[in-house]
Amino acid sequence: MAKSGEKKVTRYTYDDVTEPTTPETGHTSLMSDDELVVTLPMDNGWTKALEIGRLPADEERTIVVDMDPVVDPILFWAGKRSKREIPILPLQRNEIISESRIAQIIERARQAATETEFQPQQLSLFADLEKTLRESEKDKRVDFYTHDEGWKNKLICGDSLQVMESLLYYEGLRGKVQMIYIDPPYGVKYNSNFQQRVDSTKNDERDQADDVLTIKAFRDTWALGIHSYLSYLQERLYLCRELLADSGSIFIQINDENVHWVRVLLNEVFGAANRFATIALNKTTGFTNQRLSSVYDNLLWYAKNSNQIKYQQLYSSKGIGLEGAGVYNKVELPDGTRRRLTQGELENMDHLPPNWRVFRLDNIVSQGESKEPQPFEFEGKTYYPGANSHWKTTIDGLKRLAEKRRIEVSGKSLAYVRFYNDFSVSPISNIWLDTGTGSFTEPKIYAVQTGTKVVARCIYMSTDPGDLVFDLTCGSGTTAYCAEMSGRRWITCDTSRVAINIARQRLLSATFEQYRTRNSQVSSGFVSKTVDRITLKSLAYDLEPEKVQLVNQPEVDRDAIRVSGPFEVMTLGRYSIEDWQGYFTERGKLENYITVICHLYRKDAAIQGASGLVHAVAESEQEKIAISVGPLTGRVTAKQINDAVQDALSLGILDIHVLGWAFEANVGEVKSHIESRGKIKVQLLMIRPDTLAEGLKATQPEMLFSPLALPDIEITVTNPENGVKEAVVVLKGVGVFDRKRRTTDYYQADSGYVAAWYLDEDYDGDCFVDCQMFFDFSKTPNLKATLKAEVDPEEFRLQLISQAFPVRGYKRIAVKVVDVYGNESTIVKDLA
Ligand SMILES: C[S@@+](CC[C@H](N)C(=O)[O-])C[C@H]1O[C@@H](n2cnc3c(N)ncnc32)[C@H](O)[C@@H]1O
């Protein structure tokens, strides 16, 4: 059975970094009514250059990068703009996940593996985010953006454009991001790179054709094809530039089909002079016979400013016979004799006896005439460096090299003897052959997942521990995962709920090696392994060999395993229906927004005849439904549902569909309560975050609206002898409305429909605090590997009964269920 040992569970936090307090869900409505609208400039001077045929002189130049649009080629496409006005929404914290609770997951799994009873441990060791939140006064928490709090990593559900604007204008992160990784959808005609389910990378025909449950994880369909794609990237790249620190780097992963467009665009935004490298990375080992196989992706690396870039050289171990070691073709045997390796030996380099010292002959002269003649006597003969050359060291140096047997005769001149072990690693270059999906053991949880080796390398090359890393194309959260692994802070976002949920689960179940820090703060850096580099110079001058840091190989504390640090799950928005109504009527936009949403939902939706919070009516022979739309930048409240139901009843309609971008946590209760009166049916549908994004083709309604699955739970409250009440929650199932059949289907919690569920033991009505988290451990191989336990996957299946917990504070719990399509729904219950 298990041999998990007594490793302590640790995590990294970044107490030395602060950030402005961000509003929690529901509190954004308390912010000033003034809408923040900014103009996003997407111009490095090219509009001016076009206008006047040259760039204006000095002060007038609007140039932001070292590039002259008059001289350097610029790309134009249909719809290219030089600026765009966009309203900015604040970010809001919906959920926090504290370090101790993450550690508990691992502890629980470990206990399961060792078959002992679960005892929550070491909670007090952590200055816990959860505790801070619970104990801070609620009214102080609404005082956002005015004081600072400790840094938390961020997983954000939302469109990258708005997320970046918010990071710039509300979160104050201009110039604070050290590295950005983008793995965008690859552009036109690439329809397969979306994922419908949290638990499978395969897209099922049935799911696709089926009802609203289908969530196309990203719609790679662009209204104007490559033109829309370029506009999409242009807007985002200009924002990336604003976020980057002066020493920062951006990496864009792109296949060879569109790389040329993207590269010209990057030249425009960052300046051709700031192109730092282009890396070719092997992405697959699959070959096809139909045409030349395409097995690589490009990684375009630009610096904000190549003169200031933070860059660390990485090394890979050479391995005899591997890349970087190919020219080592001689050997020194244990008795000191030297000879060439035979062909057989060369082909089996890694099987040579360990005490054979492999070496090669290297140059001992450099180009350029010496001032004086440089005769050097070796084994009874005099040698000269040759025409237009000089020795790499002094004559004394050469003598010392000769004493150390580091010189050999090669033809008519001399050569330097370089042993393979003089430097056991070789610098990595811009061709990465070892990154193909077949070459590492990571199981894929997302259809278009990047290997951790790739992203981790980029992080190590361009950042230091504690630096901030941002990925606007989260997917399965590879960048966040690698940032956690390497002790960097992170922010990531995605429009797809499938992606957000996959990433959250991945981070929650991940365990990492604990790296030794120089002092207790991560920002002090890690103690990395070093290797000696014996050089011609160090030998010639009797110097200590140079110590080379392997920054991507920090020293590991074997007594500990590490879990993800605390993070928050966020969305964008301003949650208040009142604000929204005022806002829209005032500017005459209300009708427009509502009409658009209603028509996307039902082509036959009629705005006429609607009244109050019933915004449209759709009528066919079989049905008549009232449609109510939630605020553009807020969540649907219980009040909206109740009022809309009254309005529907007064119109004589008994079926109401409420569409929203987000819902208050108690809407499930409200729905059940209304329906229990037996009169009217209420359906709650979530609108996909990027539904109104410019450039994306309007897709079928089932792609855009997905029904809220409402959890069915049972709570038992016990009254033990010591007087502290304890509660246990059982997840029984989840009810989901099927629009085709017009029925609510009930799925048992263990039917495979539920991907994960989360419990807040003391819900304050605003931010969901993940106290207990349950998901299918059998799908988290990393965890099993770390625990080194021979575990039965059955033991790790989704657990449906919570741990007992004390009833406290608000005497109220919230349960959030995530279904396999990434839809989340929350139910709130009183424990009183
Ligand atoms: C190719 S995948 C990234 C995969 C990721 N590198 C990984 O390892 O899993 C691209 C991701 O970008 C997301 N995406 C596309 N457009 C977006 C947008 N406008 N805002 C946020 N995310 C977006 C998609 O939903 C998708 O998950």
Nearest Cα residue to atom 21 of ligand 1: 494
Q: How distant, in Å, are the alpha carbons of 230, 278, 306, 477 from that of 72?
A: 18, 19, 18, 37
Which of 278-292, 422-436, 661-675 is the least confident region? 278-292
Say whether pLDDT at 832 is over 60: yes
The SS3 assignment for 647 reads: helix
393 Cβ below 6 A of ligand 1: no
Q: Does ligand 1 have an atom closer than 6 angstroms to the CB of 770? A: no
Atom of ligand 1 minimally distant from the CA of 193: 1
Res 470 pLDDT > 50:
yes
Choice among 259-273, 277-291, 721-735 with the minimum mean pLDDT: 277-291
Q: Is 475 in the pocket of ligand 1 (CB under 6 A)?
A: yes
Query: Whole-angstrom Cα distance, residue 617 to residue 608?
Result: 8
At 318-361, the pLDDT tens digits run: 765 444 445 888 999 999 999 999 989 888 887 899 999 999 99
Q: Is the CB of 448 under 6 A from ligand 1?
A: yes
Provide the pLDDT for residue 709: 74
Ligand 1 proximity of 446 Cβ (cutoff 6 Å)? yes
Per DSSP, the residues of 667-736 read: HHHHHHHHHHTTS-EEEEEEEPTTTT-TTBPP--HHHHEEEPPEEEEEEEEE--TTS--EEEEEEEEEEE
| Dihedral angle computed from the Cα positions of residues 82, 84, 90 and 95, in that order, rounded to the nearest 10 degrees | -80
Q: pLDDT value at position 499?
A: 87
- Residue 8's identity, in one-letter code, is K
Residue pLDDT, tens place only, 471-511: 999 999 999 999 999 999 999 999 888 889 889 888 987 88
For residue 473 and ligand 1, the question of a CB distance below 6 A is answered with yes
Q: What is the pLDDT of residue 126?
A: 41
Give the Cα separation of 643 and 299 in Å (integer): 53
Residue 52 confidence class, pLDDT cut points 50, 70, 90 = low
Mutate to test the pocket of ligand 1, among 218, 450, 455, 501 (most ligand atoms within 8 A of CB): 218
Are 408 and 415 in contact, with CB atoms under 8 Å apart?
Answer: yes
pLDDT at position 594, please? 80
Q: How confident is the model at residue 765 (pLDDT cuts 50, 70, 90)?
A: confident
- Is pLDDT of 4 > 60? no
Task: Give residue 779's pLDDT.
Answer: 54
Determine the atom of ligand 1 nearest the C-alpha atom of 186.
1
Would the CB of 664 count as within 6 Å of ligand 1? Answer: no
**Residue 638 pLDDT more than 70?**
yes
**Dihedrals phi, psi of 210, to nearest 5 degrees:** -75, -170
- Using an 8 Å Cβ cutoff, are 164 and 86 in contact? no
Evaluate: CB of 689 within 6 angstroms of ligand 1: no
Helices (H) and strands (E) counted in the chain, each on its own, are 20, 44
Ligand 1, atom 4, lies closest to the CA of 475
The torsion angles phi and psi of 91, rounded to 5 degrees, stand at -85, 150
Against a cut of 0.85, is the pTM above it? Answer: no
Average pLDDT over residues 694-714: 69
In angstroms, rounded to a whole number, what is the distance separating the alpha carbons of residues 436 and 456?
15
To 10 degrees, the CA torsion angle through 144, 145, 150, 152? 90
Compute φ and ψ for 628, nearest 5 degrees: -125, 135
Nearest atom of ligand 1 to the alpha carbon of 451: 8
What atom in ligand 1 is closest to the CA of residue 473?
12
Q: Which protein residue's CA is at the shortest distance from atom 5 of ligand 1?
A: 475
Checking if the pLDDT of 34 tops 70, the result is no
> Is the CB–ligand 1 distance for residue 511 below 6 Å?
no
> For 389-411, what is each residue's pLDDT tens digit?
999 999 999 999 999 999 999 99
435 C-alpha vs ligand 1 centroid, how far in Å? 20
Segment 596-618 shows an average pLDDT of 84
Instruction: State residue 223's pLDDT score.
Output: 66
Measured by CA distance, the residue closest to atom 13 of ligand 1 is: 473
> Does residue 344 or residue 586 have the better pLDDT?
344
Among 230, 258, 473, residue to substitute to test ligand 1 (most atoms within 8 Å of Cβ)? 473
330-332 and 338-340 beta bridge pairing: antiparallel
